[in-house]
Amino acid sequence: MTKNVLITGGTRGIGLGIAKALAKAGCNLAVNGRRSAELVEHTIGELAQLGSKVVYCQGDISSPKDRDTIIRTALATFGQIHVLVNNAGVAPLQRNDLLQCSEESYERVMNINLQGPFFLTQKIALHMIENNLNSDGCIVNISSISATMASLNRAEYCLSKAGMTMMTRLFATRLGAHNIPVYEIRPGIIETDMTAKNLKKYQKLIQNGLNIQSRLGQPEDVGKVVATLVGGHLPYSTGQVIMVDGGLTVPRI
């Protein structure tokens, strides 16, 4: 069957890599982003050219009102949502030392990266249960190696991703009786607009052996893994973490 997938933050970076992989796999896409429809028209058109039916669901996932709008738009187009990919996330506007992290920055990052995905997942999970999508549905959370690796100048980001790890476990446990698997993917250093400001630093670190695989990750590396999960190829692995980090987190001596 053709699956209908809601992807948050799906118009750029990792989210766009995921959207392209799922479009190629034949999924219908409800692509969320905060920018106006006019600014993403070309991107949405490119996805549609890959053979999928695509609808743009504008909205900020940190807003309860926008979350409802995003879901309504997707359901108005497709009728059902089989898969949710929680990808949308932000880095701190400024990288400050842990001891200078502001409440404003903390709240912004946590609201977008954790609170928004939590309550969006809650609503989508209820939809999946009510529509008996247990044989077709799944939820995929895009976390980060920062869920376990400490970055003292991105404390709020690390905390938000660590929270997503527990969120994955909680929803996997709750939805197990409904046979709806929940997965977490932890990308490493992926070449996107989020990492662009520190790209030269990361390239040098990788050249000096930071990763086992001596290259930056690409959005399509994450997209291929998501397509595998959405395709139902890991049905007995709910609650598990899949690393997409080029071996960065493998302990070595």
Q: How many CB atoms lie within 10 A of CB 40?
A: 20
Q: What is the DSSP string of 5-62?
A: EEETTTTSHHHHHHHHHHHHTT-EEEEEESS-GGGGHHHHHHHHHTT--EEEEE--TT
Nearest to 104 by CA among 119, 118, 92: 92
pLDDT band, residue 197 (cuts 50/70/90): confident
Q: Is the pLDDT of residue 1 over 80?
A: no
Q: Measured between alpha carbons, how far is 218 from 118 in angstroms, rounded to an integer?
A: 26
Global pTM value? 0.96
pLDDT, tens only, 230-247: 999 999 999 999 999 999
Q: At 207, which helix (H) or strand (E)?
A: helix 199-207
**pLDDT at 193 (0 to 100):** 83
* Per-residue model confidence as pLDDT tens digits over 58-95: 999 999 999 999 999 999 999 999 999 999 999 999 99
Give yes or no: 157 in active site: yes
Mapped onto helix, strand or coil, the DSSP state of residue 184 is: strand
Could you tell me the CA-to-CA distances from 62 to 89, 140, 246 in Å, in that order? Answer: 10, 18, 31
Q: Is 50 left (phi over 0), alpha (psi -120 to 50) or beta?
A: alpha
The one catalytic residue in 157, 183, 202, 236 is 157
pLDDT for the residue 194: 82
Q: Give the model confidence (pLDDT) of 130-151 as tens digits.
A: 999 987 899 999 999 999 999 9
The residue-averaged pLDDT of 115-127 equals 98
